[in-house]
Chains A and B, each alone.
Chain A
Amino acid sequence: AAGVIQSPRHLIKEKRETATLKCYPIPRHDTVYWYQQGPGQDPQFLISFYEKMQSDKGSIPDRFSAQQFSDYHSELNMSSLELGDSALYFCASSETTGGYGYTFGSGTRLTVV
């Protein structure tokens, strides 16, 4: 079965650079979520989109922005990268906004040097 696809799997950036992470949800899933998991930490909710509109916002820094496109894929844009942004970034998708649990991608590991 198709899963949530994230690209790239690994990304190395220097401080103050910009990074773009991409997420391709499971077909027919209309809701996308982004989470950040720092080293040894639990995942923290960043932002979500339903039908291409932002549906919820968590602890996402102002330097970060995200959007969901007409084909339902989503991109997380991170600017002015800091060392503390080094983390595993997960995307997840669900078919409805019913909160029934969703499917996570394998994540993008971002390393800021």
Chain B
Amino acid sequence: AQSVTQLGSHVSVSEGALVLLRCNYSSSVPPYLFWYVQYPNQGLQLLLKYTSAATLVKGINGFEAEFKKSETSFHLTKPSAHMSDAAEYFCAVSERGNNRLAFGKGNQVVVIP
């Protein structure tokens, strides 16, 4: 079964600094990979997704992620953190032909002024 690992439940970043959230996946078949953001008391919003096209994926709000098969990783980055980036971020994986999403434990991002 597919799974993802996100290390560091809480991530603090200074405003204007690089945001880096790590995600490693496990899948027996080529995966589909996703990053979702969740603001307090809100639903899950899709940031970006990898579905076997370009390995560098650009998403909303200035985020991007790179699929690295050799490292089984799909890390999320943003060059300059903004206060509005404070939220919880989930990495998720789906196997082709199996649409259930398996989520990581999430990263709670705190942006320090």
Measuring CB to CB, which residues of chain A are less than 8 angstroms from any residue of chain B? 31, 33, 35, 41-45, 48, 55-56, 58, 90, 92, 94, 97-107, 109
A-B contact pairs, 6 of them (CB 8 A): A33-B101, A42-B103, A92-B44, A101-B51, A104-B44, A106-B42
Instruction: Give the shortest distance, in Å, between B102 (CB) and chain A (any CB).
Output: 7
**B100 adjacent to A43 (CB under 8 Å):** no
- Interface size of B by CB at 8 A reads 25
Report the bound CA distance from A103 to B105 in whole Å: 20
Q: For chain B, what secondary structure do more than half of its interface residues adopt (helix, strand, loop), or is it mixed?
A: strand
Q: Given that A99-B94, A100-B49, A101-B49 are known contacts, is A45 also in contact with B43, CB under 8 Å in the complex?
A: no
B104 lies within 8 A of A42 (CB): yes
Check A99 against B43 for contact (C-beta < 8 Å).
Answer: no
Interface string of B58-88 (1 = CB under 8 A from A): 0000000000000000000000000000000
Say yes or no: is B25 at the interface (Cβ < 8 Å to chain A): no
